[in-house]
Amino acid sequence: MKFVRGRIDRIVAVVMLVVLLGQNTVFAEEVQNSTANSTAVSLTSPSAILMEASTGTILFEKNPDEIRSPASITKIMTLILVFEALEKGRIKLEDEVITSAYAKSMGGSQVYLDEGEVQTVDTLIKCIAVASGNDASVAIAEYIAGSEAEFVNMMNEKAAELGMANTHFLDCCGLSSDSAHHTTARDVAIMSRELITKYPEIYNYTRIWMEDITHVTSRGSQPFTLSSTNKLLKQYQWTTGLKTGSTSVAKYCFSATANKNGIDLVAVIMGAPDPKVRFSEAQMLLEYGFAVTRLYVDENKQALGDIPVTGGKAERLAVEPKGAFRYLDVTGADFNRIEKQYQYVDTVVAPVERGTEVGYISYSLDGRELGRMPIIAAEPVEKAFFVDYLKRILIKYLI
């Protein structure tokens, strides 16, 4: 019995030393480089950009950081906050929104909501995404934030969060002609990417060409037809969205989205001289993008097994890839030559939270690293205390 007790003492001492000395390490994921070409397409519009949405790769740019008035492209940010509120459960699609006198008073493009008129959140999203209704934008902004002013504060906070360094909003619909209400083609692409990648259900609305809603007021019920402002829906078969805008200051703007062969592109046109140019030049950018790109996707569905963990109630930690890896190629590379290597930290020490990075998968082609995908903990592991070690040893040696 003295022999067993001596072994137990030595084992516990070694384990506790490792617990005290060990440290946990994480890795960061690489960001894909830009392959922007500023001469591939000739545009008359003063500012434009083309982005692949899943990777954020810039494929073309022309004065992308020039400060411009956005007009109704502003509503992309409004829609982001609407879908964020839906995601967090603060509002529901079936919620009924009462139109205020202030919302009714909006000029410009509108769906002619009457004061006191009730519409669902779902209908108001259609009014914004399809017909660019300024009144609908203000109505839903007031419903979410209590006032348009507070909603605009939320818009600016979200812009900062997304890294939209050259954007500032004064209203939720884009009516303002004040120079303090501004953005850039790059920032429009950033918020467009956020909307379509995080909330792809927006396509259920932006793909609508025409749809009727019903105005129910004190004067009775009356149908009203929403007509899309996005003419590419009928002109370019790969179109999925997104938002137009025009004022005398902004001229004609457009953030166009399209999907072909699994690739999602965002083409932004700012300050076009007329509406035909904004649509034709957006289409030119999209066609160029689809012609020069191919997307490598590794869904990373395979199980990775487990790795040792020190100082935990469990001795092994199940791990998994953080998500799918995407690489956008414009060189015609042979994807069959892409290689994967798995790298893990030297030591993982409990406690470990689910999602903690414990390594990465490195993707390379002909010796050049394309990017990395983090490997994360698939489950939590609690820190072990003396009684846990004692139980483990008793089970192993005495039972």
45, 132, 137, 192: which one is catalytic? 132
Residue type, 318: A
* CB neighbour burial string for 27-62, b if at least 16 within 10 angstroms, e if fewer: beeeebeebbeeeebebebbbbbbbbbbbbbbbbbb
- The whole-angstrom separation of Cα 168 and Cα 271 is 17
- The whole-angstrom separation of Cα 231 and Cα 272 is 15
Sign, Cα dihedral of 282, 285, 291, 297: negative
* 246 φ/ψ angles, rounded to the nearest 5 degrees: -160, 135
DSSP, res 230:
-
* CA 381 from centre of chain: 30
Q: Are 352 and 380 in contact (CB under 8 A)?
A: yes
- For tokens 């692949």, the residue is 52
N-terminal to C-terminal alpha carbon distance within the chain:
14
> Regarding beta strands 357-365 and 338-344, do their DSSP bridges make them parallel or antiparallel, or are they unpaired?
antiparallel
Angle made by CA atoms 115, 118, 120, in degrees to the nearest 5: 140
Ordered alpha helix ranges (H), the chain: 2-21, 75-87, 101-104, 121-129, 134-145, 148-161, 185-198, 203-206, 232-235, 275-292, 386-397
Grouping H, G, I as helix, E, B as strand and the rest as coil, residue 324 is coil
Locate 18 and state its tokens.
């490792």
72, 100, 176, 192: which one is catalytic? 72
Burial group, residue 148, by CB count within 10 angstroms (0-12, 13-18, 19+):
buried
CB-based contacts of 215: which residues, under 8 Å, 6+ apart?
112, 113, 114, 117, 221, 222, 223, 224
Q: Based on the residue annotation, tell me whether 132 is a catalytic residue of this protein.
A: yes
CB-based contacts of 343: which residues, under 8 Å, 6+ apart?
27, 359, 360, 361, 362
Residue type, 301: K
User: Active-site residues: which are they?
Assistant: 72, 75, 132
